[in-house]
Chains A and B, each alone.
Chain A
């Protein structure tokens, strides 16, 4: 059974805080992704990684960074949270053609 876990289901942070969203997968797969999902905009790719210490920008990387020190863990970092980063954040990993998602983190920035 595929498992992608995210550290928090709900988070409330203040503007200007540094925020860490953690994602862990239980398979030995290289490819991991971070998306955000907003009403009317669908899922948009923030960053992805094909291997340890490797990262690539997605479609909307501004205001975000990532860290991949171990194969199973891919972290999304909001350096200075802003209200427009209030969203549902989804982590995923791929197995050949198929992409499996974690349960999501609902982040609210006030």
Chain B
């Protein structure tokens, strides 16, 4: 059973378009992280959200944690080719414990 469902699995868009990636679960998490990974490299942490309803912005990226702490979304405004990569969401039941990962969203942005 996949505890974190991530959608869509693949996304191919043109430069300048907006997009949203979703991460859903029936379980409650104490925190949720979003990572970006390039081929052959380890995941790089983008953001951590810990409070239900929390919204964080990182330049053109907006992250939201659901009120019930069961789901999260990543919205990218005016996507650029440099945004291309694998986006992973991961949840923690408690601070410092192993993360549960979604299977990822592969984003391709063409110019």
Spell out A's residues near B (CB within 8 Å): 4, 9, 30-31, 33, 40-43, 45, 48, 50, 58, 90, 92, 94, 96-104, 106
Contacts and interface: CB of A to CB of B under 8 A. Distances in A.
9 contacts: A9-B40, A30-B96, A40-B103, A43-B99, A43-B101, A90-B42, A96-B95, A97-B30, A101-B45
A100 B104 CA distance: 17
Interface residues of B, number: 24
Given A33-B98, A42-B103, A45-B98, A99 B45 contact: yes
Contacts of B97: 31, 94
Interface in B56-109: 88, 90, 92, 95-99, 101-104
B67 to A, nearest CB: 18
A29 to B, nearest CB: 9
B92 A97 contact: yes
